[in-house]
Homo-oligomer: A and B are copies of this chain.
Amino acid sequence: MIKGLGQHLILELWGGDSDKLDSLELVEKALVDAVEACGFHLKDLRIYPFSPQGITGVAVLSESHIAIHTWPEYRYAAIDVFTCGESAEPRRAIPILQSYFQAEHIQVMEVVRGIFPLYD
């Protein structure tokens, strides 16, 4: 059987609310809610403000990570949900993140990481 170790969602959020995309509190809440909804386990959560605007948020998980970079001036956010393990459900993060940032639309690409033959 060919297995993949990780599931990596690459999300592009467009037409979001600029104020929400520049809110440290909201980025943190969005990460916490997404982690919980997916069944992930949070190891660490860090939020970094940028000047004059923009935020990076990183949730380090037992199951890998979620990273958010926001560009409020373009009403855009780039989000990666990288997870491993069988039980977590990373796609549940998608509507939560879209809703928090009131994104008009969202593009999703899913990449399986660490694919190689493991003959059970």
- Seen from chain A, the residues whose Cβ lies within 8 Å of a Cβ on chain B are 5-6, 8, 10, 12, 14, 43-44, 46, 48, 50, 56, 58, 60, 62, 64-65, 67, 69, 71, 74, 76, 78, 80, 82, 84, 109, 111, 113-114, 116
Given contacts A10-B111, A58-B65, A82-B80, contact A74 B116 (CB under 8 A): yes
Number of copies: 2
| A82–B60 CB distance below 8 A | no
| A78–B6 CB distance below 8 A | yes
CA distance A84 to B62 in the complex (A): 27
What are 30 A-B interface contacts by the 8 Å CB criterion?
A: A5-B71, A5-B74, A5-B76, A5-B78, A6-B69, A6-B78, A10-B111, A10-B113, A12-B113, A14-B116, A43-B48, A43-B56, A44-B46, A44-B48, A46-B60, A48-B60, A58-B58, A58-B60, A64-B69, A65-B67, A67-B82, A69-B82, A69-B84, A74-B114, A76-B114, A76-B116, A78-B114, A80-B80, A80-B82, A109-B111
